[in-house]
Structure 1
Amino acid sequence: MRAVLIVNPTATSTTPAGRDLLAHALKSRLQLTVEHTNHRGHGTELAEKAVADGVDLVVVHGGDGTVSGVVNGLLGRPGAASGPTGPVPAVAVVPGGSANVLARSLGISRDPVAATNQLIQLLDDYHRHHTWRRIGLIDCGERWAVFNTGMGVDAEVVAAVEAERDKGGKVTAWRYIRAAIPAVWAYTRREPMLTLELPGREPVTGVSFAFVSNSSPWTFANDRPVWTNPGCTFETGLGVFAPTTMKTIPTLRIVRQMFAKRPKFEFDHLITADDVPCVRVTSTGGPVACQFDGDYLGVRETMTYRAVPDALAVVAPPRKNPF
């Protein structure tokens, strides 16, 4: 089996020793080429080349941004007439970032050494059964999102963290918290200006922000999962989480449930929906910040998100119920 290992050497928890261990282990099972990213968007370029070269498997050692870039390189722009230039390789992830949401949501260990051993076992399983797990993705129109996307406050937090990272700052859970506090505070003083459209329902106006999920949990704060749509999985439709107020007390009640071990989102001021095929979010007050997979997309007035089932083959254990 021909494979490419794409390593982001600047990712938060990527080390030369871990990279060498991973490469050595994979070479015992695969015909392996190792590539390192050296500029923004390089993972996407390397993934495009992997498709063109007819590679069977792409292993990503980096953070969620690197993984998302690789997936977009493999699949091409959603709805593009040309599409991928060849068969799309399966994707394996060995965590190398800070949150590592995709890997952990797929059941991959957050420890790179343990994840390497897990990957070897999964490759051996594939040689016996010749079947990869397949997961759905989110079609965002101009990009694919692998695990979550959103409009509003989360995107502003992502933009603030990216600005710090561009200055040389390390991405940590604490840095996200520091960025989130002023962003959330600013939103408490704004009038909700988003309109949410779900299939079979009347449009809902006065929405403060919208999270759209492809899996659960929504993210991680170090070891702790942060929930929005606990029933959302890679095998179902989209999860939607959209509050209609950002007043302090109601917001704190929502946040408390987001960090709960068994969250219950039973609030009149919160719209939640699971397993939806599509959702459209429109701003009535000008362009709003948008993010996908923890990367800042820019500002948009309208975004339409569609669930695309079985879009990607992944090297991962079978799905388990988190509860």
Structure 2
Amino acid sequence: MRALLVVNPAATTTSARRRDVLIHALASEMKLEAVTTEYRGHARDLGRQAAESDDIDLVVALGGDGTVNEVVNGLLHAGPDPDRLPGLAVVPGGSTNVFARALGLPNDPVEATGALLDALRLGSERVVGLGLTSGTPGTEDEAVPDRWFTFNAGLGFDAGVVGRVEQQRERGKKSTHALYVRQVVRQFLGEQHRRHGPITLERDGADAITDLVVAIVSNTSPWTYLGNRPMYTSPKASFDTGIDVLGLSRLSTAAVARYGTQLLTSSPERGPHGKHALSLHDLDRFTLHSKVPLPLQMDGDHLGLRTSVTFTGVRRALRVIV
């Protein structure tokens, strides 16, 4: 087997020495080419080259969710084809590693490498569904390129938090869960649409849902982790179904306290719920429109402001070694 290892040198939980150990472990079981990313988007370019190659069987992403997202978008640049495209394997090296953990992998990169090698020896793999966003025809965002996400996306409040975290990291702050909590508070204090949300959700065969403050789209569950605590916005979301949505139409102080508590105590059986919470499960396609430009995030990556985004759940999109 020939494999390409895409290494993010800025991965927050792996040192250079530890990465060398992991690379040697993987190289003992396959013909391995290791490439260290040098710029934003490099992992996507490497994934695309692997997809266009005739002799790469597997792409291993060593890094966090952002690295995985780039690799996936490179692999699927011409569309999904699990039977033809190289498989994907993940060695978690970021601060949260939602995609890897949702697949059932250990959060420790050494243990995850061991699990990957076991899976390769056993021929253990699965084909997972993914989410795809695209520009909405007839809107100012029509020409925005398609983009895949592996575990979640969001328009509004949560994307604003992601944007604030990225700004802090650019200033040299370390990505920690405490940093995220601080930015949640700051985003709430600066939120202009707490009571009358600008977001409308439209889908075929159903009435439009209006006045949402935030819309969180999930391709799997949990939605994310706070330390080792999983948090579920859409507990039924799965790699084997379409995509799910949690929408909130109120972000008053009382509502934030209520939904925040529900999120912290959420489980695979129950997520946030109440008068101002909307939950939709296993959707194939829908569009979010906003009266004002709002931040958009995918897999924890801030993608700027958008007024209209179309989401599609694509079943059986990618082959994963696990």
Question: TM-score by structure 1 length?
Answer: 0.91
Q: Distance in 2 between matches of 1:31 and 1:134?
A: 23
Q: Distance in 2 between matches of 1:189 and 1:282?
A: 15
Look up the match of 1:36. 36
1:248 to partner: Cα distance: 1.4
- Residues 1:138 and 2:145 aligned together: no
More displaced stretch, 165-174 vs 88-97: 165-174
Look up the match of 2:210. 205
Residue in structure 2 matching 1:154, options 153, 158, 164? 158
Look up the match of 1:113. 110
SS in 1 for 2:178: helix
Look up the match of 1:173. 177
Amino acid at match of 1:38: E
Look up the match of 1:319. none
Overall identity of the aligned pairs, in %: 40
- Residues 1:293 and 2:294 aligned together: no
Residues 1:233 and 1:25: Cα distance change in structure 2 (over 3 Å) = same
SS in 1 for 2:20: helix
Q: Distance in 2 between matches of 1:112 and 1:150?
A: 27
Residues 1:8 and 1:264: Cα distance change in structure 2 (over 3 Å) = closer
Which whole-Å deviations, capped at 9, do the CAs of 1:105-159 have from their partners, x for residues lacking one? 1101001111111111011111xxxx62010011101200111001001111111
More displaced stretch, 267-276 vs 12-21: 12-21
Q: Distance in 1 between matches of 2:226 and 2:4?
A: 30
Amino acid at match of 1:8: N
**Unaligned 5+ runs, structure 1:** 317-323
Q: Distance in 1 between matches of 2:128 and 2:228?
A: 24
Q: Distance in 2 between matches of 1:21 and 1:288?
A: 43
- Residues 1:53 and 2:50 aligned together: no
- Residues 1:19 and 2:19 aligned together: yes
Contact 2:199 2:212 in 1 (8 A): yes
Which whole-Å deviations, capped at 9, do the CAs of 1:176-230 have from their partners, x for residues lacking one? 1111111123227543111112443210111101000000000111111111001
**Unaligned 5+ runs, structure 2:** 135-145
Which whole-Å deviations, capped at 9, do the CAs of 1:16-73 have from their partners, x for residues lacking one? 2221221111112111001001111111111112222231100111010010001001
SS in 2 for 1:70: helix
Residue in structure 1 matching 2:92, options 88, 91, 95? 95
Contact 1:150 1:212 in 2 (8 A): yes
Amino acid at match of 2:72: V
Q: How many matched pairs?
A: 306
Which structure 2 residues correspond to residues 274-289 of structure 1 after superposition, within 5 A? 274-284=281-291, 286-289=292-295
Contact 2:62 2:93 in 1 (8 A): yes
Q: Distance in 1 between matches of 2:308 and 2:119?
A: 40
Q: Distance in 2 between matches of 1:73 and 1:4?
A: 13
More displaced stretch, 131-140 vs 303-312: 131-140
- Residues 1:260 and 2:268 aligned together: no
SS in 1 for 2:302: strand
1:289 to partner: Cα distance: 0.6
SS in 2 for 1:50: helix
- Residues 1:270 and 2:277 aligned together: yes
Q: Distance in 2 between matches of 1:121 and 1:202?
A: 48
Look up the match of 1:64. 65
Q: Distance in 2 between matches of 1:172 and 1:113?
A: 21
More displaced stretch, 196-205 vs 297-306: 196-205
Q: Distance in 2 between matches of 1:120 and 1:264?
A: 35
Q: Distance in 2 between matches of 1:269 and 1:123?
A: 46
Q: Distance in 2 between matches of 1:27 and 1:264?
A: 42
Which whole-Å deviations, capped at 9, do the CAs of 1:223-280 have from their partners, x for residues lacking one? 1111100111111111100011111112221111111153343312100011111221
1:167 to partner: Cα distance: 2.1
SS in 2 for 1:174: helix
Contact 1:14 1:61 in 2 (8 A): no
Look up the match of 2:253. 248
Contact 2:266 2:272 in 1 (8 A): no
Residues 1:266 and 1:157: Cα distance change in structure 2 (over 3 Å) = closer
Amino acid at match of 1:279: F
